[in-house]
């Protein structure tokens, strides 16, 4: 129960601050409207820092099914704990999305761009191309998980002292690799909020782009597995 609870809390903070900064930049009549990609990437880095720092001591702060599965493949997380990790991550992502929507409710009402409204919740590619969108998510998540494995060291468990280097790694991935797909690099981060976009009564919203939704799931899971396998060979 502790794993589920603190993965949920950590992920809720991560999504509240991460999707919150996207809302601040892309929705109408906010204080941060049109402040740009640098603001988004720094906001997401701080979101990761907060989520990891809050949940590290109690759950190990996986906050990402790709990280959880990589740790399990490396036999540093029991497979029996994997469902609790992933369930907590998805629950937290949905709670965080709900809080972002409540915080920016009036701005959602004023925004006419349906794509911008969806962007607060989930990713879409800048240039739709299934093979290259998938490859981008694989590479980005490989970089994340491979970096995390070296940051955490021999125990392969995130602690509060790892929060800053992991946040900086996510900042670097966003700045360098985020352009093509928006760097989901986390199945729960994309799919949980996408479900909330579908469920919430957002005026003038578009469809939730379910045709693309599998890419931010399969790509990160594949990238995480590859990172674990390469790490194991070293």
pLDDT tens, 156-213? 667 677 899 999 999 999 999 999 999 999 999 999 999 999 999 999 999 999 999 9
70 vs 158, higher pLDDT: 70
pLDDT for the residue 28: 98
* The pair of three-digit structure tokens given for residue 122, joined into one six-digit string: 């989930």
Mean pLDDT computed over every residue of the chain? 96
Angle between helices 130-152 and 163-177 (to 10 degrees): 160
Rounded to an integer, the average pLDDT of 52-60 is 93
Interacting residues of 128 by C-beta distance below 8 A, sequence separation 6+: 212
Rounded to an integer, the average pLDDT of 38-42 is 98
Residue whose C-alpha is closest to residue 92's, from 166, 188, 187, 23: 188
pLDDT band at 26 (very low <50, low <70, confident <90, very high): very high
pLDDT tens, 14-25? 999 999 999 999
pTM: 0.95
Q: Which residue has the tokens 């929705």?
A: 27
pLDDT band at 146 (very low <50, low <70, confident <90, very high): very high
CATH architecture of 2-233: Up-down Bundle (1.20)
pLDDT for the residue 161: 72
Please give the biggest Cα pair distance in the chain.
Answer: 53
Residue whose C-alpha is closest to residue 121's, from 89, 97, 99, 96: 97
pLDDT for the residue 6: 97
pLDDT band at 142 (very low <50, low <70, confident <90, very high): very high
Domain ranges of the chain: 2-233
């Amino acid at each position: 129960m502790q794993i589920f609870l603190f993965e949920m809390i950590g992920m809720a903070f991560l999504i509240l601050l991460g999707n919150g900064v996207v809302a601040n930049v892309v929705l109408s009549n906010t204080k941060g409207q049109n402040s740009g990609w640098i603001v988004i990437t720094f906001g997401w880095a701080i979101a990761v820092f907060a989520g990891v720092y809050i949940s590290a001591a109690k759950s190990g702060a996986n906050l990402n099914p790709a990280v959880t599965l990589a740790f399990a493949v490396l036999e540093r997380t029991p497979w029996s704990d994997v469902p609790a990790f992933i369930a907590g991550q998805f629950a937290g992502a949905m709670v965080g999305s709900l809080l972002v929507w409540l915080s920016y409710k009036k701005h959602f009402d004023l925004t006419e761009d349906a794509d911008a409204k969806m962007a607060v919740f989930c990713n879409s590619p800048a240039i739709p191309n299934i093979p290259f969108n998938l490859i981008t998510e694989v590479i980005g998540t490989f970089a994340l998980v491979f970096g995390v494995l070296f940051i955490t060291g021999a125990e392969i468990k995130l602690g509060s002292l790892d929060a800053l280097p992991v946040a900086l790694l996510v900042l670097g991935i966003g700045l360098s690799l985020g352009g093509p797909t928006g760097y989901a690099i986390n199945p729960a981060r994309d799919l949980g909020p996408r479900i909330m976009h579908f469920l919430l009564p957002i005026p003038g919203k578009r469809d939730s782009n379910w045709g693309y939704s599998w890419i931010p799931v399969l790509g990160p899971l594949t990238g995480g597995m590859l990172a674990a396998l390469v790490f194991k060979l070293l």
